[in-house]
Amino acid sequence: MRKPGKMLKLALGSAGKKPATVPYPYKKLAMPDRFRGKIAADSAKCIGCKLCMRDCPSAAITINKVGEKRFEVEIDLGKCIYCAQCCDSCNKGVLSITPEYELAQLDKKKFKVIYPNAGSPEDTPKEP
Amino acid sequence: MAKEEEIRESLTKQFGALEGKIRIQRARRMWAEVEPSDFETVLDYLRKSQGFVILCTMTGLDKGENLGIIYHLAREDGIMLNVEVTVPKTNPVIKTVTAVFPGADHYERELVDLLGFKIEGLAPGFRYPLTDDWPEGQYPLRKDWKLDPSLKTGKIEES
Amino acid sequence: MVYALVHILVFPGLLFLMAFGLFAEWVDRKMYARFQNRMGPPWFQPLADILKLFGKESIIPEEVEPRMFRLLPLVALASSLTAFIYIPVWGTKALFSFNGDVIVVLYLLTIPTLTFFLAGWYSLCPFSLLGATRTLTQLFAYEVPLFVSILSSAFLADTWSLSEIAAFYSKHPGYWLFNLIGFLIGVFSLLGKLEKAPLDIPEAETEVVAGSFTEYSGNLFAFFRLAINVEMIVGASLLAAVFLPFGLSLGPVAGFIFYLAKVLFVVILLSLSHAIFARIRIDQMVNLCWKFVAPLGFAQLVLNMIIKGTLLS
Amino acid sequence: MGKVFIPIGPQHPALKEPASFRILLEGEKVIEANVRLGYNHRGVEKACEERSYLQDMYLLERVCGICSHSHSTCFIQAVEEVAGLEIPPRANYIRTVVAELERIHSHLLWLGVAGHEVGFDSLFMYVWRDREIVMDLLAKISGNRVNYGMNTIGGVRRDISPGLYPEILKAMDVLEERTKYYIQIATGEMSFIKRLSNVGRLSKEDVETMCIVGPTGRASGVPRDVRRDDPYAAYGDLSFKVITDDHCDVYGRAVVRVLELMEAYSMVRQLIKNMPEGPIVVKAPRKIPAGEAVSRYEAPRGEDVHYVRSNGTEKPERVKVRAPTLANLQAMKKMLENYYLADIPIVIAAIDPCFSCTDRTIEVNRLEKGTTELMSWDALRAYSIDWYARQGIQLKGIRL
C-alpha cells in the first residue's frame, strides 16, 4: 500500500535501541581470521628466489642480499595493495599476513619496512 | 553446436569471401575475419537476418603493420560472433557503425583517441577518454608509443 | 532601561537564543541520528562547528557586491532575533507586546528567507541562482497556509497579540485542541521556512550543491547558520505559543520548563519528518501546498469560525 | 529566468566519482544534456600489456571497488579459455557464491545511494547498516570487504569451509527478511515513489538499439541476462528467474534491483546446498599459449566484457575491458532531457554508474619516477578560468 511515512515505526523504534555504529578510535572491531593486513616477513627463512618480487602487482616488495645466503625483505606499505599474493607465491613460508590495518603515516618514509636478517630469532622490523 | 554451424553456413552462402574465415572456438563463441570493404554489409546482414542485435563492444588492436578492430556481436541466445576487420596503419580509415548501433558512439571515440583510427561519419562531440589538450598524433595504445616527457604533468615524489 | 537591555542581550534575548539554538540543533541532529540507528554527535558539536567556521577565512567572490554580501547574513540573524522579543516565554506575557504583533512576527520571520534569496541572487553562481529561485518559489507556496493556520488560531482568541492569545487559551483550557490541524500545517511550513528535509529543496545538496549558500564560507556562513538556528527556535516558539498554549499559568519556572519542552517537541517533530520522508521536487511541493495544505488551512479557519459561533457566543 | 548553463561535475555532490554533465536549463527543466567522460582514465589497458597475467588480475580487480570480483573473474575466465584450463567445479561454485554475494552488496549499496540522492537518508542508513551483514560475510570468506582477491589463474585462492555454510545461510535469511521490508518501503513510501516514477524514462526500443545492459535494460522489459543466455561459472546449474519490469523508469530500475536481491539469496542457498567436493585450484602455466578469447560476465551493473589476446609470453598482447556503465551512459542524454533539474541526481544514480570502471586507460608511468614541476596555485587558477571560458562559462576570477 502506498502512503507517506512508511518508515515511522522503524525510526521511532530505533530511537530507543542501541546504535548500530561504533565510536571508532575508542572501540575497534575485530578483523576476520583471513583479513589481509600488513605483511610480516621472517627474513631468516628467505632463500632469495624472488618469486614474490616477480608476482607482486605493485612492485612493493624487494629482497636485498645482505650476506652470503642471507637476505632481508623490504616492503613499501605505501605501494602494497594487500592482495597477499606474495604469501601465496613464497614456497618457504617467509611472508605471512597479519591483521594489522592502521597503517596510515604522515611521513612517507615510514612506509618502508625492513625485516632485517641478523641471524638471531628476535628479529623485529626496524623503521628508518 | 548446431546453431553455430548454421550461422557459418548461411554466412558463407551469403558472402563467398568469408569461406574458411569463420572459426568456431567453442559453443557460443565464433570468430570471423572480414575485409574492410564488406564489413558494413556483413554487419547489416548479421543484425537483420541473423539476430546479432547486441554490440557488446569494439576492441582496437595494434598488429604491427596494421590496425584491427574486433566488433563483438552477440545474439539474445548468447552466441557471440567476433568480427575482425584489418586496416593498414598508414591509413586507418573505417566507416562508422553508429547508424546501425547507436551505442557504438563511445567505443568509436575510444578507438580514435587511443589507437588513432579515423572513423568516417562519426558525429562531432566530446572526445573520449583523453583530455581536451592531449596532443595530436599521440596514441597511447599503439605498441610503439612512448610517453613523451612533455606530457608528464603530475609530480611523483621521490620516496 | 538596564533591565530591558539584559532581557534583550542575555535572557531571553541574544545569548540565550543562540545557546538554545545550538542546543536545539544538537537535539535535532542527535534525534535524527537516533531515528537512523546511529550514535549522533556529542553535545558540543554544533558549537564546535560554529567556532570552526568563525576561525575560517571568508571568501568573497570578486564579481559580487561585497557590502551586500557581508550585510545579508547579519540582517538574517537580526530579524530572527528581533522576532523573538514578541513571543511569550515563561508565561502569558511577552517582553514586548501590542495588538498586531502576530503579524509583525510572521513578517520578521519572512525576512531571513528573503535574505537567503538575496544572498543567492547576489552570489552570481548558477547553483546559488537556482537555490535563490527555489527559495522564493517555496516561500510563496508555504507562506499562505502558515498565515491562514496561525490567523485562524488568533481568530478564535479574537486578538492579534501573541500575549493575549496565550492569555485566552489559558483562560479556556482545552480549546487549543481544536487547532491541531493548524499545528501540523505550522510544522510543515516551518520545515519549508528552515529549509529542512523533506522541504530542503532550495539547498538540496545533490542537486544545487548548497543553494543560496554555495559561495558563502567562514564567518559569513556561520552567521547564516546561527540565523537558521535562531529562526528554528523562534519558529518553534511561535508554534508553541499559538498552538500549544498550556501550562502557562503555573508560574515562571514551571512555565519556562513547559516552554523548553514544547520547543524541543517541535524540533523533534522536525527531525522525525526529516527522517521518514524523501525530499520532494519543487513542482510537487507547490502542488502539495496549493492543493492540500492551503485548503486544510482554510478548513481550520472555517472550523474555528463555527466554534466561535457556537461555543463562545 | 532564461536559459542557464550549469555544470554538474566533474566535481559535484551528486556524483560520487568525476564525470561532467553539461546541462542547459530553462527554469528547472533540462533542455539539453551532454556527457563528457574520461576523468578517471588511468591507463589500465596499457598497463596490462606491461604486466604478467597474475599481476593483471590484481590490477583489473582494482578497476572498480564495488564490482571487483566481476572484473577479475571476467578476465580470468578469458585467460583460462586461452590457456585451455579446466576449472575444478568447486572453484566455479566458490566464484559464483562470491559473485552473488557481491551482487547483493552492490544492489543494497545502490538502494541506499538512491535514497540519499532523493534526500531520503534514513533509507540509506538502514540499507547500509544491513549491508554490513553481507560485507562481513565476504570478509570472512575472502579476508577483505572489497577487492576480495579470491581468484587465481586456474581456480580460487581460498576455500569456503563447510563450517561457514550455516552462517552464510543464516545471513541470507536475515537479509531476505530485511529486503522484504525494503521492498515495502521502496514500493510503498509515497514521497520516495513520487521522486522515482515517471523519471528518466527509457523505452524498450531505445534499450534494444543502444544495447543497454543490466538492470537498466531489464527495467525496460528487455530480458537480457548473461547468466542465463551465456552461462559461465556455476550459473548453468542454477535455477533462477531473470527479473524484468515494464515501468521503463527509475522506479522500475529500483524494483528490478530489489527483486534481483531476492533471486540472489535463493541462488546462494542453491550453491551452498549443491557445493561439490574437490580441489579448488589447478596448476596454471606462467606462459599462456597464443590465442584470443572473449569473456562475458553479468556484473551487478550489467554485462561486463573482457577480451584477452595472448602472444605466447608471460604478458598479454592486448586486454580490453568494457564495463557496463560505458554502455549505459550513452542513454544518459535521453534519460535527462525534458526532466527536472531535481531529477538529475537520481537518474544518473539509477544506472548505478561507476566511472572508474568506465574510464580505464591516462598513461602516467607510475613505476618510473618522473619529476616535473607542480602547477602553482595561480597557474592552476588561471588554467581553470581559461578552461571554463572555453566551455562558455565566465568565472572571471575569485578574490581570495
Per-residue pLDDT of D160-186, as tens digits, reads 888 899 999 999 999 999 999 998 888
List domains and CATH numbers for chain D.
44-358 (1.10.645.10)
Q: What is the pLDDT of residue B150?
A: 63
ipTM value > 0.90: no
Which of A76, A108, A112 is nearest residue B157 as measured by Cβ atoms?
A108
> Do residue D191 and residue A4 have CB atoms under 8 angstroms apart?
yes
pLDDT at residue C196, as a whole number? 83
Structural domains in chain A? 31-115 (3.30.70.3270)
In the Cβ-directed half-sphere of C264, how many Cα atoms lie within 13 Å? Answer: 15
**Contact of chains B and C by CB distance (3 or more pairs under 8 angstroms):** no
Return the closest-CA partner of residue D19 out of B128, B56, B115. B128
Q: Does B129 touch chain D (CB under 8 A)?
A: yes
Task: Please indicate whether residue C251 or residue A35 has the higher confidence score (pLDDT).
Answer: A35
> D190 and A56: CB-CB below 8 Å?
no
Number of cross-chain residue pairs from A and D with Cβ atoms under 8 Å apart: 76
Q: Which residue has the higher pLDDT, A51 or B155?
A: A51
Chain C residues with CB under 8 Å of D126 CB are 36-37
Residue D361 has pLDDT above 50, yes or no: no
Per-window interface: B 98-157 vs A, CB < 8 A? 157
* Confidence class for position D144, pLDDT limits 50, 70, 90: confident
> Cβ separation of A4 and D190 shorter than 8 Å?
yes
* Domain range annotation of chain C: 2-310
Span A110-125, pLDDT tens digits: 888 888 876 654 445 5
Given this model, what pLDDT does residue C10 score?
75
Would you place residue C23 in the very low, low, confident or very high pLDDT band (cuts 50, 70, 90)?
very high
Neighbors of chain D by Cβ distance (3+ pairs < 8 Å): A, B, C
- Judging contacts by C-beta atoms under 8 Å, the chain D residues touching residue C129 are 1, 4
pLDDT band at D399 (very low <50, low <70, confident <90, very high): very low
- D393 → chain C, closest CA residue: C126
Give the residue from C39, C45, C268, C279 with the most A CB atoms within 10 Å of its CB, the best one to mutate.
Answer: C39
Q: Which of A2, A3, A6, A7 to mutate to test the interface with C (most CBs of C within 10 A)?
A: A7
- Distance, in Å, from the CA atom of C110 to the CA atom of A58, rounded to the nearest integer, reads 60
**Regarding predicted confidence, which is higher, A122 or C57?**
C57
D-chain residues within 8 Å CB-CB of B76?
Answer: 224, 229
**CATH code, residues B2-139:** 3.30.460.80
End-to-end CA distance of chain B: 57
- Neighbouring chains of C at 3+ CB pairs within 8 Å? A, D
Distance between A27 CA and the closest CA of chain D, angstroms: 17
Q: In this predicted structure, what is the pLDDT of residue D269?
A: 92
What mean pLDDT value characterizes chain B? 84
Chain A neighbours among D 113-172 (CB < 8 Å)? 122-123, 126, 129, 132, 136, 139-144, 147, 149, 152, 157-158
Question: Residue A101 has what pLDDT?
Answer: 86
Determine whether the interchain pair D294/B114 forms a contact, defined as Cβ–Cβ distance below 8 Å: no
Q: What is the pLDDT of residue A7?
A: 82
Grade residue D307 by pLDDT with cuts at 50, 70 and 90. Answer: very high
Q: What is the pLDDT of residues C59-87, one digit of tens each?
A: 888 878 888 888 888 898 888 888 888 88
Most A CBs within 10 Å, among C37, C184, C274, to test the A interface:
C37
The residue length of chain C stands at 313
**Interface contact A7-C276, CB threshold 8 A:** yes
* Predicted confidence (pLDDT) at residue B111 exceeds the cutoff of 90: no
Rounded mean pLDDT of D210-235? Answer: 88
Residue A93, number of CB atoms within 10 A of its CB: 10
Closest Cα in chain A, distance from residue B124 (Å): 39
Domain ranges for chain B, please list them.
Answer: 2-139
* CB atoms D139 and A85 under 8 Å: no
**Is pLDDT of D385 > 50?**
yes
The residue with cell 567556532 is C51
Contact with chain D for residue B146, Cβ under 8 A = no
Q: Do B157 and A112 touch (CB under 8 A)?
A: no
Residues of chain A with Cβ-Cβ distance to C39 below 8 Å are: 19, 21, 23
Chain D residue closest to A29 (CA)? D136
CA angle B46, B51, B55 (to 5 degrees): 70
Percent of chain C with pLDDT over 90: 9
CB-CB neighbors (< 8 A) of A20 in chain D: 129, 132
Q: How distant is the Cα of C290 from the closest Cα of chain A, in angstroms?
A: 18
- Of D346, D216, D353, residue with least CA distance to C280: D346
Name the pLDDT band for A21 (thresholds 50, 70, 90).
confident
Q: Cα–Cα distance between D227 and D300 in angstroms, integer?
A: 11
Name chain A's partners: 3 or more CB pairs within 8 A: B, C, D
Residue D326 confidence (pLDDT): 84
Chains A and D touch (3+ CB pairs under 8 A): yes
Q: What is the mean pLDDT of residues D236-262?
A: 89
* Chain C contacts in chain A segment 5-24 (CB below 8 A): 5-8, 11-12, 14-15, 17, 19-21, 23
Cα angle B89, B95, B101; round to 5: 125
What amino acid is encoded at D142 in this protein? S
Which grid coordinates are listed for D129?
A: 547498516
Interface contact C63, partner D, CB < 8 A:
yes
